Structure 1
Amino acid sequence: MTLAPLPGHPHIAYRDGELCVEGVRVRDLAQQHGTPLFVYSQAAMRDALAAYQRGLAGRRHQICYAMKANSTLAVLQFFARQGCGFDIVSGGELERVLAAGGDPAKVIFSGVGKTRAEMRRALQAGIGCFNVESEAELEVLDAVAVELGVQAPVSIRVNPNVDAKTHPYISTGLKGNKFGVAHERTLATYQRAAQLPGLRVVGIDCHIGSQITEVAPYLDAVDRVLDLVQEIEAHGIAIDHVDFGGGLGINYQGDTPPAADALWQQLLARMDARGHGQRKILIEPGRSLVGNAGLCVTEVLYLKPGEQKNFCIVDAAMNDLPRPAMYQAYHAIVPVQGRAGAATQVYDVVGPVCESGDWLGRERALAVQPGEHLAVLSAGAYCMSMSSNYNTRGRAAEVLVDGTRATLIRQRESAADTFRAEILPK
């Protein structure tokens, strides 16, 4: 048996010309469950998490999976069983955590637009912390907590004005972004929080963006946050934990982000050098835990030659894989069944949705025929969680692979599923 792992995807490999996720042939999964189909490697998720655990070993810490990356219940259950908490941004995500068996005491509630109903539900569930993102939110959360007769544990999310050098849509730490309290307003906001009877200050939070591939922005953010911690505590307000968010990138197209354990060695060294080694650390990784654990399998429907472009039309579309349409993002696309020596042709890989923006990959050299399958790699994050029913397309099925066992974890939606909640007027 010949084995050829894909670069950056150690648990996705060709075995005798057949693409496999761990010990399962992707072609068999496509035939059994149909396409489009998302397939996830449990070993890849475990390895990604282990790198963070190694980097933080011996420190007071809590890893909170940023579930907006992939909120499928079976994925949440896996991370809960590994001892992770969760970073949520909506009341719906809280319900998913609870349904998957997550511990509410390990939940951090982020997001700029929490409603009173969401705050109330989170307080009743007993979540670990609210990452408050504005002074106005602080006042509303206090009122809701007082009404319930409890204190809300809070951390202020600081906007440190650090350039993460990433796509503008996923940058969150600059002055022009909507997130967090301005660096210059942080002390005043903490002083107000300390005065409010319904709040209990427990930490400080910072998140500068997503798909970060350099260490320098993190080090810059660490210094700015620790400066604020010292200033806040000098005014008599204790800070127990420091939350540095997430955002570590993955390899989509030759990207070279630092390994999670190497990154945290550097960040912890900076904290130690500044005398903050005793503080509890919270982090919120998402994409780096699940992104390269998943792929999307799609069937080739038609090959359409043209004067300027050749099109490979597949059954997956922008509703299944929104990142190319939204961010002009790159995903590697590989054949599920390799054909040694076959001549390649350059294609734009496009879906059937009626939008010119419905493309999955541009100018890809592929040797494929209608009826064969392709795999879109690095599809574990921000694909299924952002998918939609546009063009009344049912969302894809999902499969979780553990060794040689493949488990269906989401059924494919039918057309009836997509309009089940709608009501025809009489």
Structure 2
Amino acid sequence: MSRPRPDAGPRAGTEAGTETATETGTEAGTEAGWDPVRLAEVAQRHGTPVHVLDAQRLDRAAEHLLDVLGGLGRPARAYYSVKTNYLPYLMRRLAARGLGADVVSGYELEAALAAGFDPAAMVFNGPVKTDAELATAVRHGVRVNIDGEQEIEALEAIAARTGQRVEVGVRISPGLPVSTSTDPSYRAQAERAAARTRFGWPAGSPQLASLVDRIAASPHLALRAVHAHLSSQIVHEDLMLRALERVLDEAAALHHRFGLSEVNIGGGFGVPGIRRPRVGPQGALAALRGESAVPDEEPFLDIARLLKELDGQMQRRGLDGVALACEPGRWLVSDVMAMVTRVMSRKELPEARWLILDAGNNVAPWNGTGEVHRLTPIGRPYAAEHSTWSVAGPLCYENDVHAAATELPDDLRPGDLLCLHDTGAYSLGRSNNFIRTRAAVVALDADAEELVWRAETGADVFALADPRTPDPAPGTP
């Protein structure tokens, strides 16, 4: 499978909001599998900013995951995390490959069904599920993983009305952090966040025991699955395994009592193409004082090794015949999309050298998590000499910054193109029209090219302002 090498992202040890470029002169970007000439041609035809989707790269990622799951010593399932990227073209492609779907809202459920996912291979997760959404899930035979206590009563009422016995799962929280840092204040924050998470029910807690007893007492519900989702962009494999041991301990006890059919470990598997800075208040203060921090290594999460180890742990706990499921999203789609953006302005100021792009946080909405994505120049040969640039988007918003400091060619100028890598995860769903409209998506499948999500217009932005405006036809992007 063609995926970025573990060291393809920003080098370990860079400060929050900074990035070290790996490219030299001429046209960069080919090391990540993208053809810079073709990207520039797409930008010429469709304008910028524009997302480009490599359909064959998506196929290879799905096939590799299914191969890994097929090599385990038990039944195994993959549910694609729809919230990661709900592009219908992409979902149809994954459904055709045999993946299931993980949804966390009613409209995601409807979109997944429309994309062709098998309802029997779908799970409904999330902390809030309305009665109407639960009724839709039950009607289609989609399993609900209970995260809110009120869901039990609602599901019981729905099942009683329809005369069904509904299989459900329960979400469990291990209460342990799955990321770490050389910054002790970051570690303290991570431990506190894991201990007080609002998602799921704490392993070993009386609250979990009470919830399970309520499900057991329900005449129309059958507890058949355990679910967990620990975080996002997890790169510390050993910490993830340690946390999941608590989940598997609970699963073993529940299996003895109820006979489980599935243990679902969720997703959040980290990808090498992006970096999230692991800096707490102590590290931030040190950086302001100009002190050099001890570099954090950026581990590479090996999903095959992770799943094989979990398979063995389930075997040792007597979970024979119980399926191992996961919910990859970012891992499948992060590097199957890239964005082409254009330099609009170059400002060389006394304290900073700025490149202002036409793609902002509205179409690359990651500044809330502090993610750093690589930028590579394309479209023409560039100087071998590089300088440190600050790179921002077009929004009148101070935090619309892609990189506080990154190495790029000296001769970048307005009109030049840059490739923003790894835009497949959380770009469409979290995009917005603050000041600028949303970007188009163009799919490449070998020699074929197809516009699969058109760019938003000003008319689209205000279409909801008049209640008399008819809704678009079902399935319209």
**TM-score using structure 2 length:** 0.80
> What are the equivalent positions in structure 2 for 1:330-409 lying under 5 Å apart?
330-337=372-379, 339-367=381-409, 368-391=412-435, 393-409=436-452
User: Which residue type is aligned with residue 94 of structure 2?
Assistant: F
Task: State the 1:259 CA deviation.
Answer: 2.4
Task: State the 1:199 CA deviation.
Answer: 1.7
The equivalent of 1:195 in structure 2 is 217
> What are the equivalent positions in structure 2 for 1:183-332 lying under 5 Å apart?
183=203, 184=205, 185-234=207-256, 236-251=257-272, 252-253=274-275, 255-324=298-367, 326-332=368-374
The equivalent of 2:285 in structure 1 is none
Distance 2:38 2:420 in 1: 15
- The answer on whether the counterparts of 1:27 and 1:336 sit within 8 Å (CA) in structure 2 is yes
1:200 is paired with a residue whose SS is: strand
> Is residue 30 from structure 1 mapped to residue 43 from structure 2 by the alignment?
yes
Task: State the 1:349 CA deviation.
Answer: 1.1
Distance 2:417 2:161 in 1: 56
Task: State the 1:9 CA deviation.
Answer: 10
**Closer, same or farther: CA 327–265 of 1 in aligned 2, 3 Å:** same
User: Which residue type is aligned with residue 27 of structure 2?
Assistant: G
RMSD: 2.7
**Which residue among 23, 27, 30 is the counterpart of 1:17?**
27
What 5-or-longer segments of structure 2 have no aligned partner?
A: 9-22, 181-185, 276-296, 469-477
The equivalent of 1:107 in structure 2 is 122
**Closer, same or farther: CA 359–18 of 1 in aligned 2, 3 Å:** closer
Distance 1:417 1:170 in 2: 40
**Which residue among 197, 201, 208 is the counterpart of 1:177?**
197
Distance 2:237 2:460 in 1: 45
Distance 2:452 2:349 in 1: 40
The equivalent of 2:292 in structure 1 is none
Which structure would you say has the larger RCO, counting Cα contacts within 8 Å and 6 or more residues apart?
2
> What are the equivalent positions in structure 2 for 1:68-217 lying under 5 Å apart?
68-127=83-142, 129-165=143-179, 174-183=194-203, 184=205, 185-217=207-239
**Closer, same or farther: CA 387–172 of 1 in aligned 2, 3 Å:** farther
- The answer on whether the counterparts of 1:172 and 1:209 sit within 8 Å (CA) in structure 2 is no
Distance 1:342 1:215 in 2: 38
**Closer, same or farther: CA 82–57 of 1 in aligned 2, 3 Å:** same
Distance 2:161 2:97 in 1: 35
Distance 1:233 1:171 in 2: 29
Task: State the 1:401 CA deviation.
Answer: 1.8
- The answer on whether the counterparts of 1:210 and 1:246 sit within 8 Å (CA) in structure 2 is yes
1:323 is paired with a residue whose SS is: coil
1:174 is paired with a residue whose SS is: helix
- The answer on whether the counterparts of 1:244 and 1:283 sit within 8 Å (CA) in structure 2 is yes
Distance 2:224 2:329 in 1: 23
User: Which residue type is aligned with residue 89 of structure 2?
Assistant: A
* Per-residue deviation, residues 38-70 of structure 1 (Å, max 9, x unmatched): 112223323322332232214312100011111
Distance 1:264 1:307 in 2: 52
**Closer, same or farther: CA 257–147 of 1 in aligned 2, 3 Å:** farther
Distance 1:268 1:176 in 2: 28
- The answer on whether the counterparts of 2:175 and 2:197 sit within 8 Å (CA) in structure 1 is no
- Alignment: residue pair count: 415
- The answer on whether the counterparts of 1:293 and 1:380 sit within 8 Å (CA) in structure 2 is yes
Structure with greater strand share of residues: 1
* Per-residue deviation, residues 123-145 of structure 1 (Å, max 9, x unmatched): 22221x11111323222222233
Distance 2:192 2:154 in 1: 23
Task: State the 1:110 CA deviation.
Answer: 0.4
Q: Which stretch of the first structure deviates more once superposed, 116-125 or 332-341?
A: 332-341
* Per-residue deviation, residues 63-107 of structure 1 (Å, max 9, x unmatched): 000111111101101110110001000001011112212212211
Task: State the 1:295 CA deviation.
Answer: 1.0
Distance 1:171 1:317 in 2: 32
**TM-score using structure 1 length:** 0.90
**Closer, same or farther: CA 150–170 of 1 in aligned 2, 3 Å:** farther
Q: Which stretch of the first structure deviates more once superposed, 19-28 or 286-295?
A: 19-28
* Per-residue deviation, residues 224-243 of structure 1 (Å, max 9, x unmatched): 12221232244x32211111
